Structure 1
């Protein structure tokens, strides 16, 4: 089933426009990692108030999070960038520059600030103030292992009634939406000596009480996180490391939707790191930044495509393409050769022609790469074809309407085959033809042709429709299919010879 966000498109567009119009009292607009860790002059522009930072382990995600925190005086740099004596001498001459909005300081002009580490100390000029919430990975440590809760782990522990407060209704509502759990009878038990120290208490359907020591780590962290966020000031900065920690994939998606909702209600700005595809689904492409090998780039990638970008893959033939449709097209072409070992060639959608070309070039220029790659760009791409650099172009212009129309025009030749491939009764050929004609005539956004057909046919998946069209296109247009196939095999002749089935 395709993903449907709980946030309306109009609300997403409103947030994008709000950032573009600089319509915030406080906002971190842009950050340049001039020189820090492995980054040199890498610029991040925060086009959306909820930003995801993805990348491999060691890619620099937490560095980006920490650099953002250091923009404001509420966070000391040592929290994210501690120095361990002479063993951290690489920190010398680190520098981060910022462009920020603070209407209290300047109503119309963005403010520029820098943070520099030199002479064994941090220098931050004319620091701005902004309420900042930071949720590290330690938030999911089980209560039984948290030192600050040990005073509660006592069989004789009793607390006066006034030290026990019900969790607020709005927090219960939002936590319930994220975890799909009713916590209206949950409470917070404060320590007698320190009101900042507390333990959560729950209640079963049977009326029995239990404390945070018996919560799931994800359940506890979400309740505490939502409680803090709901009471934070408007225009706060919220930083979350590994947002998926302790959560079911669906809860991860709902948490990101909640954060977008908070940005609408409280005008907060959120940055989080993640390895989860589910965390990326609610976000526009502009809200996702990839850290890898000292570079930071903008745009949505699947986590599988990220593996391809980093080289963390096991296939011996690699093809990079622009999007998921091109990926399925190449896979359909390859599927016609039954002698290929499954998985010997892998195709990765990089969500952008420039990213696909750059990744393929980088792999081919890497002397340590055991197997090289090629790239297929869409017909309407502005990138240049190059036999030398193994960059080829798919037929047509925009891929979806090209394949759709190519098959539709030959409908009378393949009517029964296409009807069956679309899981329709063989007697429904007339109905299928009518649907194709109507969809082609009525669809403005040609990227949605196959999903539109799926909806018209009833209870169909877009992937099923797309697959049917692509495989039939391969049968109808064998010369074009062979051209695509031969470009691949010509470049991988040696590997191909050694990876045929016997």
Structure 2
């Protein structure tokens, strides 16, 4: 089960962190691209930096690439002057305003904590904050954006390889590199070769089914996965930085990629930092692996927000993509649940956008839904709500079996042991006179008369008790000129506020689930 494997990885990676030979624990940025003394803390070996456009995700990533001296890299490859250049032409009046910039790093090493600072005045220089005879820590580093091979000049330069007067050098990918790709792609390769002329390189793949093609004919997702497979699976102890890690990938593959990146981090002592707009990527790391950047509305400065689920998703996407999902049978059950949440959500300071209620599916179909949700890794955040008359039936066990025994599925019941319509009916019979006029727009005596008339009409009906209850409740809703869902919502809201009501077990269970989900 994917959720279980992720949870195990989170525990193992957190336990390994103190034993890593290198760990970049903090970056402080000041004076660059709207950053004013911004501190970004890394607490988990695989971090996801999220946020809206222009919040500086890539800026933090590029700053991280300046933290180490990289073996065999050029002197200008991973330095601020290269990664944060200014436009200052010899001619013309338009140019970037140069201001003082500070990029400060804190490191955890086996020898203890270290610090280093890049500062730009007239030029860039390094300091080691009072440490004598200090030098910049050395570490392997990988920096990549997963964009398509679409730049015309880049495509033309790669195509020139086909016009070489000599055969390009061929380097087969190792079995480990190819296996990394196999775990995420729907086909298998018999061989993948790197073709190089010394300056440019091109991947050429052969599938077990017989197809053979260069990466110019690969889909963006396949190319991204193969490039990552080639470039990072052999790294050890490195800092891996990937911008827009989800680019070109289906949500299911995004989750698989994050799973295998964390497995690779555990096996090869890697620290991985990615940026993303994807809620699927965010879901794939624990709370302390999520870093959410936002621009303050009043000051315009970039700030780090707390990594609460609903706060991140609402701010980043305008709605909660990591919603708490509930699945119930019909509009009657939906109305009861909405009434309970009308009572609970304000108390828990959670917005309605964070909750999604699905319906129009019979209880007999719930196991099929559980199976699909398990496949796509959504089972843990889905609550199955069964009608009260399903208590003691086999459906609860069937849902659990479809979800997998390793997953503790949340299955709750609506109040009572009868159909939801019968429960609402009984609540209306005992409703307080003051409540009737205020919330239903009818006198208590008038409501009683209508209900007695409907009881008399349906007493002789030949349908099943549940069908009679549905038809009788629908007729009552029409008499009251209320939508059935709206009427259920009103009654459930009132009963949720009644400590003596038999809806309280459902209220308490949902309150606990909301608190666990939000944290």
Q: TM-score, normalised by structure 1?
A: 0.62
What corresponds to 1:280 in structure 2?
A: 282
Q: CA deviation at 1:51?
A: 0.3
Q: Residue 151 and residue 457 in structure 1: after superposition, are their counterparts in 2 closer, same or farther (change >3 A)? A: closer
User: Matched residue of 2:55: which SS?
Assistant: coil
2:108 to 96, 101, 104: 101
Q: Residue 54 and residue 478 in structure 1: after superposition, are their counterparts in 2 closer, same or farther (change >3 A)? A: closer
Q: CA RMSD in A?
A: 4.4
1:376 to 339, 346, 349: 346
Q: Residue 164 and residue 98 in structure 1: after superposition, are their counterparts in 2 closer, same or farther (change >3 A)? A: closer
Do the aligned residues in 2 keep the contact of 1:186 with 1:202 (CA within 8 Å)?
yes
What corresponds to 1:366 in structure 2?
A: none
Q: CA deviation at 1:430?
A: 3.7
What corresponds to 1:178 in structure 2?
A: 184
Alpha-carbon distance between aligned partners in 1 of 2:317 and 2:253, rounded to the nearest angstrom: 30
Q: CA deviation at 1:121?
A: 3.2
What corresponds to 2:170 in structure 1?
A: 164
Q: Residue 258 and residue 84 in structure 1: after superposition, are their counterparts in 2 closer, same or farther (change >3 A)? A: same
Q: CA deviation at 1:66?
A: 1.5
Q: Residue 119 and residue 88 in structure 1: after superposition, are their counterparts in 2 closer, same or farther (change >3 A)? A: same
User: Deviation digits for residues 359-386 of structure 1, max 9, x if unmatched?
Assistant: xxxxxxxxxxxxxxxx8353xxxxxxxx
User: Deviation digits for residues 65-98 of structure 1, max 9, x if unmatched?
Assistant: 1221121233111343111127322x51221222
Q: CA deviation at 1:152?
A: 2.2
Q: Which runs of 5+ in 2 are unaligned?
A: 71-77, 89-93, 129-134, 296-301, 329-333, 353-383, 424-487, 499-519
What corresponds to 1:410 in structure 2?
A: none
Tell me if 1:88 matches 2:96: yes
Alpha-carbon distance between aligned partners in 1 of 2:403 and 2:13, rounded to the nearest angstrom: 34
Alpha-carbon distance between aligned partners in 2 of 1:145 and 1:324, rounded to the nearest angstrom: 44
What corresponds to 1:225 in structure 2?
A: 228
What corresponds to 1:135 in structure 2?
A: 144
Alpha-carbon distance between aligned partners in 1 of 2:317 and 2:247, rounded to the nearest angstrom: 25
1:477-496 equivalence runs, <5 A: 478-479=493-494, 481=496
Instruction: Name the count of aligned residue pairs.
Output: 367
Q: Residue 92 and residue 149 in structure 1: after superposition, are their counterparts in 2 closer, same or farther (change >3 A)? A: same
Q: Which entry has the higher C-alpha Rg, 1 or 2?
A: 2
Alpha-carbon distance between aligned partners in 2 of 1:333 and 1:422, rounded to the nearest angstrom: 12
What corresponds to 1:355 in structure 2?
A: none
2:155 to 133, 140, 146: 146
2:32 to 20, 33, 36: 36
What corresponds to 2:468 in structure 1?
A: none
Do the aligned residues in 2 keep the contact of 1:286 with 1:298 (CA within 8 Å)?
no
What corresponds to 1:362 in structure 2?
A: none
Q: Which runs of 5+ in 1 are unaligned?
A: 314-319, 338-345, 350-374, 379-390, 395-419, 436-451, 484-502
Alpha-carbon distance between aligned partners in 1 of 2:85 and 2:68, rounded to the nearest angstrom: 17
Alpha-carbon distance between aligned partners in 1 of 2:323 and 2:229, rounded to the nearest angstrom: 35
Alpha-carbon distance between aligned partners in 1 of 2:11 and 2:156, rounded to the nearest angstrom: 44
Q: Whose RCO is larger (CA < 8 A, sep 6+)?
A: 2
1:15-30 equivalence runs, <5 A: 15-19=13-17, 22-30=18-26
Alpha-carbon distance between aligned partners in 2 of 1:53 and 1:208, rounded to the nearest angstrom: 38
User: Matched residue of 1:224: which SS?
Assistant: helix
Q: TM-score, normalised by structure 2?
A: 0.60
Alpha-carbon distance between aligned partners in 2 of 1:148 and 1:94, rounded to the nearest angstrom: 36
Alpha-carbon distance between aligned partners in 2 of 1:180 and 1:291, rounded to the nearest angstrom: 34
User: Deviation digits for residues 111-157 of structure 1, max 9, x if unmatched?
Assistant: 01112222243545442221110002446547994344132244x87
Q: CA deviation at 1:43?
A: 2.2
Do the aligned residues in 2 keep the contact of 1:7 with 1:261 (CA within 8 Å)?
no
1:43-122 equivalence runs, <5 A: 43-74=39-70, 75-85=78-88, 87-89=95-97, 91-103=98-110, 107=111, 109-122=112-125
User: Matched residue of 1:295: which SS?
Assistant: strand
